[in-house]
Amino acid sequence: MTFAYLRCEYRILRFYANVNSFRKIVTFFLRFYVMVWYNKENPAKRVNGMNIGEKIKRIRQHRRMTQKELGELVDLSANRIAQYEMGYRVPKKPLLNQIAEALRVSPLALSDGGNGPANDILEQLFWLDEEQPGVIKLVLTERGTARYNANPNLTLRYDDNDEWPPRCPTAMCFNDTILDEFLREWAAVQQKLLGGEITQEEYFEWKIMWPDSADIACK
């Protein structure tokens, strides 16, 4: 085998290596562009609302942390944190738990479900409330003298004001003690926000720390 032949083989291998690297770079930027364009042009098509990356970013900014600072706490680069926040990569559950600990929030705040129906429903509603402020209005009820089961045509009534939409709202109750209790706690905190007793940041803090923060609802 001559030296010229080996040099030719080396050039061929280097050419294929360069082509493969170029292909990977092009593929990366194509995927990145499609992801950014899709999220920008089609926000309504995200079935589950805010994705995990957007939640991480929202909480990180709430904590006034940079991507570099968060990355250092979980042994990752700022670039990798940026990839998670933009949705290019999705952290696995063990890493999500690490990120939640670094951000000092409940692991449920970054969970993608699987924590029981009541917990999952509340977290979905929490983030819907964050993504579209004011879309959820919680009202604590008081027991009246009439009984619904005795009168199937009974209609719930409410005291109208400028805060309500022009149409009559639809009421929904859950025949689940735990979920109902969760909602009552949330309603109490939301009323504190509307009454000016707590700030928007304190309200968000309560949601991302739930259920550890649940005991402050009635204080």
Task: Indicate whether 100 and 129 sit together in one domain.
Answer: no
Structural domain containing residue 154:
117-216
Task: Indicate whether 40 and 78 sit together in one domain.
Answer: no
Kindly state the average pLDDT of the residues 51-55: 92
Task: Indicate whether 60 and 88 sit together in one domain.
Answer: yes
Q: For residue 41, what pLDDT is reported? A: 45
Answer positive or negative: Cα dihedral of 31, 32, 35, 38: negative
- Sequence-distant (6+) residues with CB within 8 A of 64 are none
Neighbour tally for 43: CB within 10 Å: 11
Residue 83 binned pLDDT confidence (cut-offs 50, 70, 90): very high
Q: For residue 216, what pLDDT is reported? A: 46
Judge contact between 53 and 96, C-beta under 8 A: no
Task: Indicate whether 41 and 70 sit together in one domain.
Answer: no
Kindly state the average pLDDT of the residues 207-211: 90
* Total domains in the fold of the chain: 3
Residue 34 binned pLDDT confidence (cut-offs 50, 70, 90): very low
Q: For residue 23, what pLDDT is reported? A: 53
pTM of the model: 0.69
Task: Indicate whether 79 and 123 sit together in one domain.
Answer: no
Task: Indicate whether 158 and 91 sit together in one domain.
Answer: no
Task: Indicate whether 97 and 19 sit together in one domain.
Answer: no
Task: Indicate whether 212 and 153 sit together in one domain.
Answer: yes
Task: Indicate whether 11 and 41 sit together in one domain.
Answer: yes
Task: Indicate whether 138 and 203 sit together in one domain.
Answer: yes
